[in-house]
Structure 1
Amino acid sequence: MLRRISGFILFTFFVCLTLPPAAQSAITLYDADETTFSVDGSFNTFYVYSSSDKNAEMEAISGPDREQSRVKMGFLPNWIGFNFSKQVNNLKLGGRSSFWVTINDSDNNLTETGIDVRQFYGTVDADWGQVLFGKDFTLFNRSNIFLDEILLGYGNVSDTLGLIDGNGVSFGNIGTGYTYPFPSAQITYRTPQLHGFKLAVGVIDPSRTADEGQEKTPRFEGELTFNHKFESGDVTAWGGFLYQKSESNAQNGMDITSKGVSYGVRARYAGFSLHASGFNAEGLGFLLGPGADTTLGLPVAGPGGELDSNGWLLQASYTYGPLRFVGSYGENELKAADKWENQTATGAVFYNVNDYFKLVAEYNVNEISIGTAEEETKTVALGAILNF
């Protein structure tokens, strides 16, 4: 299983994420007859130097210590997105498609650039709220990751998880603070905002976690958010949930129930920002959620049943003119027979050249352990980010 995890290099491109579309300054290409069409995009590239230090047990899993320089994407990939909306009587109809591109294909794939569709959905808005149907990021741990202070930065990598090289992104704080809200087919209802509160509840295409499994019901996820603005600042708080059951048809197979809660708060005043978030779960996994972790051979259950996992993230930032300084620490834990622990400390400086272009310098230390096997990876990343 652990050798398979080292093969993460072939998978990491497919587990990156994005800012919500509303956070981008889209260019409107058409706006007439109550119909709009716009496009947004993001480009980033980092020079990265990583140094991996392993004990003997971890060397047996993922090879010897390494020092590696790369030119690659950061936590976010590069993408282009298209947005559509049209008012029809009392309904506003909309949709979004976004296409994600890796720039890291020169090392071993030559020019076979991977293109992934991360979002492809329609929306119907009215006074009663919104219904979204199609493929989008899911709800559990959604605000945990979208409000991460280093979302535009680089974040954690390790050789054990195949991330020092890889054909895709680094992991930000995936696995060291939260799990990834993997894009999935869904039907999601969002209420109108009422006194700062907004509820989203989704019916999600379920993940197969049991051997020869069947899923009689879909996965259910939800998130309640609260936003309050005041002079010179604002507060955002949230709580989410996930529940699904996969029933095994294999002889002596185990049914696996995946469930969890996510939560957090972010407070900003003047130039200061504080972020605290976390999750508690069972049968969910360590990094990417029940479906992806199961596919990769990462454990979500053991002989005694579903495995417990949890994570938390603490961050502080200060913005002074075009500069933003960030300090971040997070960790995840999986209570398997060989306990998994993964933690990341990050310091970063972002410089806004203008509203569309920024530079970032980041220093990151990741420590991962599987039982007594341990690895520490130190990373320096220098990047440029262009959004429109």
Structure 2
Amino acid sequence: MSAFIYASEARADDYTDLLDILKIKGSLTSAEYNGLLAKHLRHLREAEVSARHADTPRTRIAAADRPHGVHGGSVRHLPAVSEAPDDTQVALAQARSAAAQAQASAAAAQQALLSTRSEMNSPSIVRVAKYVPGKGVTFQAGPIDINFSGFVNGFYTFNSPEGGMPVAGGVSTGNSGFDTSGVRNGLLPAGLLVKLSTTQDGLDLSANFGFYPGLNNNDPGAFNANSGGSPVGLGTAGLDVRQVFATVGNKDIGTFKVGRDLGLFGSDAILNDATLLSVGSTGSNANPANTSLGRIGVGYVYADWIPQISYMSPKYHGVQATVGIFTPLDEFDYAGLNPSGTSYSALNSQHSSPMIQGKVTYDFTIGALTTRIWSSFLVQHQQHLTSGSIAASTNRSATVEAGDIGTKITLGRFEGVAYYYYGSGLGTTGLFFDGINASGRKRASEGYYVQGAYKILPRLKLVGSYGTSNLYQVPGENDPLLVRRNESEVGALYYNLTDWLTLLGEYAHTRSAAHGPNHEADDTMSLGAALFF
């Protein structure tokens, strides 16, 4: 009987596991779970007690109390009293019945446990992975992970011009002559990112989609959803579909990417820019576009989202390299009034070879100091350059080259970033904006920014940065209105109210100067919030 009791206790553990699983799945409430578990344990205890009593028969009369006498030298014994009275037989029967019930219950629990485990491992079951702040929500449908992540932001922005004269290609709004208010996005619009990933035949595969809607009315121009907005009733916001790409690879062979995504040259510059989460330079606050400029054009050239086929190597001792071919982009006369050569045409664009970009990063840690160093490059051959001084029949061309280097360090509560770029034909603000002069010769450009952030409190961070972008004329060129320098200083406070929500307050001072006497400046105050999930 004891052996049976111990076996019954072992099966009881399976029954308890079943109750735990049913509770986790939501089939049982906490009250139901506690009640069933208590009842099950009580039955087991009753069965054990009854079985132990049945294995030890009671004797009603002790031998010392038995009547005896002497007759003819012999001892006369009274008839023996039964050692298994009726109540003991009943208890034994009850114990056996309880044991049989417990055995049947344990067998049923074992079968239910196996069935439940099989159902939970079924590819038709959709599960939700453990949530990690900032990593989005992941659903697991069999072998496929479906991740949703994104962000929403909005700022009240007040821009006050300090005056000045227009600068062609400048990013300051100082010459506008009037104050402007707006509720707008910052450097980031809103975003919804969807990623489907799985592993097949030893390869990690993913499909990625990035949808970026703005707050203000859309008024498409040369820059599509990034053009200035339309402050007129009955408008609708624009949708910027920046990301559509697939990846394939693994940690041993590296990763290949095909589709539209952020370029390599200048990508670390914008991803480490603190104004990515705020506003920075507005560009224009009178008719806000989907985004502000942040530090674009005042410290780095925008990396842009470009169709590409690229390869990223495995990381080796902290070193990782990426290289790819990209859809070539035209030279563009951003300054206007034809001071720059261009290959941009609404009807025709000619490129016989792709743009090539590459990047190398090195991550390492020394004690409490964590560091990343990166460097990237860009090469593209521009063809069929035209301007007021270049005839279309001349087939003028130029090869654009650019490179950069940057670092980010983290030490305790402090975080610092330093970045520098140089280009020949690269231009300023956007890729190939005003990079070629009206005669078809390449202009040099360079820029940098430095940034420091310090956590005053665990949730409160103070950020300050300065940056400048310079565009040089070629020898013999004389265009006094063309931008020579854009620069800005930014100070901001970031308060993490929750894992998702950050409150922000920022001040930015932006200046633009031409190659002649013209210059302008403006001040911007922004207050708002950004939510990331």
Could you state the TM-score of these two structures normalised by the residue count of structure 1? 0.87
What displacement does 1:75 show?
1.1
Alignment match of 2:195 (pick from 45, 61, 83): 83
Q: Match of 2:269, SS?
A: helix
The answer to whether the 8 A contact 2:494-2:502 is kept is yes
* Aligned match of 1:208: 330
**How far apart in 1 are the matches of 2:298 and 2:321?**
26
* Aligned match of 1:327: 464
Alignment match of 2:137 (pick from 11, 27, 40): 27
Q: Could you say if the C-alpha distance between residues 328 and 192 of structure 1 is closer, same or farther in structure 2, counting changes exceeding 3 Å?
A: same
Q: Could you say if the C-alpha distance between residues 243 and 311 of structure 1 is closer, same or farther in structure 2, counting changes exceeding 3 Å?
A: same
**How far apart in 1 are the matches of 2:370 and 2:233?**
46
Runs of 4+ in 1 over 6 A off after TM superposition: none
The answer to whether the 8 A contact 2:182-2:285 is kept is no
* Aligned match of 1:178: 300
The answer to whether the 8 A contact 2:167-2:512 is kept is no
* Aligned match of 1:303: 439
**How far apart in 2 are the matches of 1:377 and 1:37?**
45
Alignment match of 2:212 (pick from 100, 107, 117): 100
Q: Could you say if the C-alpha distance between residues 196 and 369 of structure 1 is closer, same or farther in structure 2, counting changes exceeding 3 Å?
A: same
**How far apart in 2 are the matches of 1:214 and 1:58?**
30
The answer to whether the 8 A contact 1:313-1:330 is kept is yes
Amino acid in the other structure paired with 1:289:
L
**Following superposition of structure 1 onto structure 2, how do residues 337-376 of structure 1 map, counting pairs within 5 Å?**
337=479, 338-371=482-515, 372-376=517-521
The answer to whether the 8 A contact 1:141-1:263 is kept is no
What displacement does 1:370 show?
2.2
The answer to whether the 8 A contact 2:133-2:500 is kept is no
* Aligned match of 1:193: 315
Q: Could you say if the C-alpha distance between residues 88 and 321 of structure 1 is closer, same or farther in structure 2, counting changes exceeding 3 Å?
A: same
**How far apart in 2 are the matches of 1:54 and 1:224?**
43
**Following superposition of structure 1 onto structure 2, how do residues 112-131 of structure 1 map, counting pairs within 5 Å?**
112-126=236-250, 127-131=252-256
* Aligned match of 1:247: 383
Q: Match of 2:493, SS?
A: strand
**How far apart in 2 are the matches of 1:373 and 1:381?**
27
What displacement does 1:299 show?
5.0
Identity %: 27
Q: Could you say if the C-alpha distance between residues 165 and 111 of structure 1 is closer, same or farther in structure 2, counting changes exceeding 3 Å?
A: closer
**How far apart in 1 are the matches of 2:495 and 2:259?**
36
**How far apart in 2 are the matches of 1:348 and 1:147?**
15
What displacement does 1:157 show?
2.4
Q: Could you say if the C-alpha distance between residues 300 and 355 of structure 1 is closer, same or farther in structure 2, counting changes exceeding 3 Å?
A: farther
Q: Could you say if the C-alpha distance between residues 56 and 191 of structure 1 is closer, same or farther in structure 2, counting changes exceeding 3 Å?
A: closer
The answer to whether the 8 A contact 2:165-2:520 is kept is no
**How far apart in 2 are the matches of 1:239 and 1:103?**
34
* Aligned match of 2:416: 274
More displaced 10-residue stretch of structure 1: 203-212 or 239-248: 203-212
**How far apart in 1 are the matches of 2:176 and 2:187?**
25
What displacement does 1:57 show?
5.1
What displacement does 1:52 show?
1.0
**How far apart in 1 are the matches of 2:286 and 2:295?**
15
**How far apart in 1 are the matches of 2:487 and 2:504?**
22
For these two proteins, the number of residue pairs brought into alignment is 356
The answer to whether the 8 A contact 2:486-2:512 is kept is yes
**How far apart in 1 are the matches of 2:292 and 2:451?**
19
The answer to whether the 8 A contact 2:448-2:468 is kept is yes
Find out whether 1:235 has 2:235 as its counterpart: no
Q: Whose RCO is larger (CA < 8 A, sep 6+)?
A: 1
**How far apart in 1 are the matches of 2:166 and 2:302?**
28
- Runs of at least 5 residues in structure 1 that lack an aligned partner in the other structure: 1-21
What displacement does 1:170 show?
1.0
**How far apart in 2 are the matches of 1:245 and 1:178?**
21
What displacement does 1:223 show?
0.6
Alignment match of 1:380 (pick from 503, 525, 530): 525
Amino acid in the other structure paired with 1:77:
P
* Aligned match of 1:314: 450
**Following superposition of structure 1 onto structure 2, how do residues 139-178 of structure 1 map, counting pairs within 5 Å?**
139-158=264-283, 162-178=284-300
RMSD over aligned CA atoms reads 2.1
Q: Match of 2:270, SS?
A: helix
Q: Match of 2:159, SS?
A: strand
User: What does the per-residue CA deviation read over 1:241-273, in whole Å, with 9 as the maximum and x for residues that have no partner?
Assistant: 000002227223421221100110011100001
Find out whether 1:287 has 2:429 as its counterpart: yes
Q: Match of 1:306, SS?
A: coil
Amino acid in the other structure paired with 1:342:
N
The answer to whether the 8 A contact 1:256-1:301 is kept is no
Indicate the structure (1 or 2) with the bigger Cα radius of gyration: 2
* Aligned match of 1:218: 354
What displacement does 1:55 show?
2.0
What displacement does 1:165 show?
3.1
Q: Match of 1:66, SS?
A: coil
Amino acid in the other structure paired with 2:193:
G
The answer to whether the 8 A contact 1:144-1:263 is kept is no
